Structure 1
Amino acid sequence: MSQIAYIGDLHGNFEALSLLMKKVSDESSVKTFIQVGDFGYWPRRGKINEGIESIEVTENCKLFWIDGNHEDFESMKNFGMLHQPGQLKVWKNGQINYVPRGTILNIYGKNILFIGGAESIDAAGRTEHLDWFREESITQRDIENALSAIEEFPDAIDVVVSHECPASFDLPKILQHNWEMFGWKSWPPPSRIALQAILEVVSPKLWMFGHYHESMQGQVNETEWHCLKIEEVFVI
């Protein structure tokens, strides 16, 4: 069965992304890449889509990406990229694809649910509408869209791709951090609680996410999970 390469947070390092995809595709049969958020979508910092157009995708390869918490959500909203499950935003004739929250795609026979979003731990030091946006959080509408898609989908969900992770995933490296220094008053963050609701419905075999900039893995019941650090590649 064909494999998929999952890629960790990029924060706009599209040169590294191009090199990673070329290396993986040159050294294996992988043709599909999925990036787990904090992609680095900031079109107002340059010409519209200038950064994305600079990404080099090898012939016959495809890249799918979701939003994290560090994206320009105001631009995404203006371009109709939010709250549109199933309606991919494409570049380069479909070689690069943004996947909206709550979208299910069948890739190589695997049913994959995509749901981006997370809270920024450094929100207190950012400026709203400039480098911080309320839309970063997973909302009730996002969860309802995802649950509706799951209910209408004829088969079981095999994989979930998110930026954040469910509340029940034990993250020992992360719990050592002093979250109060960032202004956090509660743990887990709201988006983790939201994703827990998804986990309790779908119980996928695999859950891939990023956000925490650490490489971690674990198991919750029948779900194997992997957290990818920045620019980490995991092929499965």
Structure 2
Amino acid sequence: MIYITGDTHGDINRFFDGGALDTKLTKNDTLIVCGDFGFVWFDESNPVGFNQDNDKLDRLSYKPYTILFVDGNHENHDRLSKFPEVEKYGSTVHKIRDNIYHLERGRIYTIEGKTFFTFGGAYSIDKYMRQEGISWWSGEIPNDEEYKRGIKAIKNADYKVDYIITHTCPSEIIKMYLHHIPDPHDGELTGFFDYLMYEVDFKCWFFGHWHTDDYFKVPMRGKTKKFRALLFDVVNIEEYEEVKYDEY
């Protein structure tokens, strides 16, 4: 079974001691985190933090289920990119531990027979409070190669996947449903998501970033498209399997 949740921000308590992710998931289950995983943060320049990260990842490696995540804006993208790339789910992933993998931007993966388009990243509005290479990394914003890879993957899939997993979301969702003003620094990414929102057929789009748990049914070209914002909720993907076009 596949479960999805929102930003974990390196909080190990979410996974243990009765936390939201201290669940009865088994070795046959998969958990997907919608960005800001946060357990890959410090590098060797901070030995204490680096060792703490590794201790947390080692603890997570004892979980019986598989943990997958797209990257958010609050990640050490430099360190993340140094993990080995391996073939898994029909494309490449970064292997963090034997049961922990980073789902790359612009890839389509097949997990338990379902297809997922993944595209992490977002702009940090708190960038002014952070220090580059210490608490902020420029890799939070996708590059041209990642956009091109994503477009190619979607075209090759004939503009149809089962699910989309991102960190942030389309600008129209930000404005009309989350009631925020999209940051112009994020405009290229959220604009790209607007394009996907209209052009791609999908059962549900899951995202984090906005620190809310909510569900939106969006009327669009005679269809209803589903969007699920996640933070603490842990949802079973089977709840979003059925697609209806007459819900509005």
After TM superposition, the score normalised by the length of structure 1 is: 0.80
Matched, 1:68 2:72: yes
Of 129, 132, 137, 1:133 maps to 137
Amino acid in structure 2 at the alignment position of 1:110: K
1:213 lines up with 2:211 in the alignment: yes
| 8 Å CA contact retained: 1:86, 1:100 | no
User: Could you list the runs of 5+ residues in structure 2 that have no partner in the other structure?
Assistant: 44-48, 238-248
The answer to whether the aligner puts 1:42 opposite 2:46 as a matched pair is no
Show the counterpart of 2:123: 119
CA shift for structure 1 position 92: 3.9
User: Against the structure 1 CA distance between its residues 162 and 210, is the aligned structure 2 distance closer, same or farther, given a 3 Å change threshold?
Assistant: same
Residue 147 of structure 2 is matched in structure 1 by: 143
Q: Secondary structure, in 3 states, of the residue corresponding to 2:133? A: coil
CA shift, 1:65, in A, is 0.8
Cα distance change, pair 79–56 in 1 and its aligned pair in 2 (3 A): closer
Q: CA RMSD in A?
A: 2.8
Verify: 1:192 aligned to 2:190, yes or no. Answer: yes
**Which residue of 1 is the match for residue 109 of structure 2?**
105
The number of residue pairs the alignment matches comes to 220
Deviation at 1:127, TM superposition (A): 1.2
Conserved in 2, the CA contact under 8 Å of 1:34 and 1:63? yes
TM-superposed deviation, 1:144: 1.0
Give 1:79 shift.
3.7
Q: Report the equivalent of 1:233.
A: 234
User: Cα distance 1:188–1:97, how it changes in 2: closer, same or farther (>3 A)?
Assistant: closer
Counterpart position of 2:200: 202
Letter of the structure 2 residue corresponding to residue 23 of structure 1: T
Counting strand residues as a fraction of each chain, which structure ranks higher? 2
| Structure-1 residue corresponding to 2:242 | none
* Correspondence 1:55 to 2:60: yes
Tell me the CA shift for residue 52 of structure 1: 1.6
* Pair 1:166-2:166 in alignment: no
* Alignment partner, residue 86 of structure 1: 91
Q: Deviations over 1:178-219 (max 9, x none)?
A: x8xxxx6x4864321122223233231110000010112212
For residues 94 and 180 of structure 2, the distance between their equivalents in structure 1, rounded to whole angstroms, comes to 38
Map 1:8-27 onto structure 2 (within 5 A): 8-18=6-16, 19-25=19-25
Counterpart in the other structure of 2:4: 6
TM-aligned CA deviation for residue 158 of structure 1: 1.0
Equivalent position SS for 1:87: strand
Please state whether the residue corresponding to 1:175 is helix, strand or coil: coil
Q: CA deviation at 1:86?
A: 2.6
**Are the aligned partners of 1:43 and 1:49 in contact in 2 as well (CA < 8 Å)?**
no
Deviation at 1:104, TM superposition (A): 1.1
Q: Is 65-74 or 8-17 further displaced after alignment? A: 8-17
Query: Could you tell me how far apart the structure 2 residues matched to 1:64 and 1:97 are?
Result: 5
1:95-128 Cα offsets, whole Å, 9 max, x none, are 2111111121112221111111001111111111
TM-score normalised according to structure 2 size: 0.77
Residue 24 of structure 1 and its aligned partner are, at CA, apart by 4.2
Percent of aligned positions that are identical: 24
The one-letter amino acid paired with 1:224 is K
